[in-house]
Amino acid sequence: MKLRALFLSIFVLLTGPALALELTHSAGALGYAGGNYFNKPSGLHVADDGIGFKGHAGGAAYGGGIYYHLNVNKYVGLELDFLYESSELKRWVTINNVVEITESKTAGQWRIPLLLKLNAPTGFGAVTFGLGPEFIRPSSVSDNGNGPKALKVDSTNIALEIGFRIDLPDNLEIPVRLRVAYNTSQAEAYKDRIESTGNTITGVKLQNTWDGRLMVGVGYRF
C-alpha cells in the first residue's frame, strides 16, 4: 500500500502542473523594416576587394506576415511566424581608384521563425523575450547587373528577440519587437559563398550574415 501511495504521489506531482495549465492563444499580423549585414569572407588576399561581394556589404529590408502565439501560461509560450520580405544587399566598389561601381542584389524571401517566448507581465501587457531557429527560403533573386548574378540559397538562423506587448480592450493586442538573427549556415570561406567556372565567378550566394528587424503588429487574444 505504501509503495502504491508513493507511485500515486509521484504521478500527481509530475502531471499536476501540466493538467493545471491554462492554454491561451493569440494571432495577428506584423509589419516590419530593418537592416542586413554581409561580413567579409575569409580566404581572400588583402588587396582583393573587387566585384563579387569580396568585402563587407549592407542593405535594407521590409516585409510583413502573420503570427501565432501559444501561451502555456502567462510566463512561457511559443510563437510561429510566416513572413515575407524584400531584402537587399549593396556594396560600393572602387576599381583602380577611379571607377566606382555599386553592386546590388535583392531577394524576395520567406522567413519562418519558431521561438520560445518568455513573458514578464506588466500593467500594460508584458515585456517579451524570444529565442529559437528561423528558416529563410528565397522565392526570387535579382541584381543590378554589376558583378556575378545573385543565387538563391536557403538559410538557417538563430533569432533573438526583445519586445513588449500592449493589451487593449476587446482582447486586442499590439506586439512590438526587435529581432536580431545570425546566419548559422553561411560559409566563412569566399570559395564556398560563390559559384565559379575556372577563374570566373559566375554567381554569389545571397545570404545575410546578420540582420535586424523592428516589428509592429496587431493581434487578437482568444
What pLDDT shows up at residue 96?
73
pLDDT computed for residue 11 by the predictor = 47
Which domains does the chain show, CATH number per domain?
23-221 (2.40.160.20)
Return the C-alpha cell found at 9. Answer: 504521489
- Whole-model pTM: value is 0.86
Q: Which pLDDT score is estimated for 130?
A: 98
Q: Please report the pLDDT score of residue 132 as a whole number.
A: 98
Per-residue pLDDT of the chain (222 residues; tens, 9 = 90+): 555 565 455 444 444 454 457 899 999 999 999 999 999 999 987 666 678 999 999 999 999 999 999 999 989 999 999 999 999 999 998 877 778 889 999 999 999 999 999 999 999 999 999 999 999 999 999 998 888 999 999 999 999 999 999 999 999 999 999 999 999 999 999 999 999 998 889 999 999 999 999 999 999 999
* Closest residue by Cα to residue 119 from 67, 61, 177: 177
Q: Is 65 left (phi over 0), alpha (psi -120 to 50) or beta?
A: left
CA-to-CA dists, residue 198 to 56, 191, 194, 195, 202, angstroms: 24, 12, 12, 10, 10
